[in-house]
Each structure stands twice: as structure tokens, then as C-alpha cells.
Amino acid sequence: NVNSANVQSILKVGAYITQTPIPLSNMGSAVGKTGAKAMINDIVGSPTWGTTAVGGGGSTYPVWSNGSNWLIG
């Protein structure tokens, strides 16, 4: 999980923002985290934007929380 103690190692801010990709299982539940975003490095296949993220694969995609699930996008 992301917390203030490790945020500098995960996020780099300059002319743009970069995020260190992490496994989906490290994100924990999406419940109550509406709007949270992350880069995930173990997404299965080539998912469509807005679909529920599934970990355990080898693709890197951005995800966001709708308050219930981690979604691709």
C-alpha cells in the first residue's frame, strides 16, 4: 500500500509525473478509494479501458478506483 513514508520512491514529479509500477495485489481493496490511481505491472492480457483490472499477467497499465473496483484506465 502507498503511504507517506514511501511515496517519494513511488512518485517522481517534474515536468510530468511518473509512477513506479507495482503488482495489483499490492493495492489492496479499491473500496473507499474513489479516484485513487496507480500503474500496475501484472495485468492479464490487453484489457479494454474501464474494465475491472485482473492481476497475474505481464502487462503494465494504469488503473483507478471507482470506489468498488480497480479499473483499467
Residues 13-51 pLDDT 10s? 677 778 899 999 999 999 999 999 999 999 999 999 999
Q: How confident is the model at residue 73 (pLDDT cuts 50, 70, 90)?
A: very high
pLDDT of residue 18: 82
pLDDT over threshold 70, residue 4: no
Q: How many helices (H) and strands (E) does the chain have?
A: 1, 5
Interatomic CA distance for residues 29 and 36, integer angstroms: 11
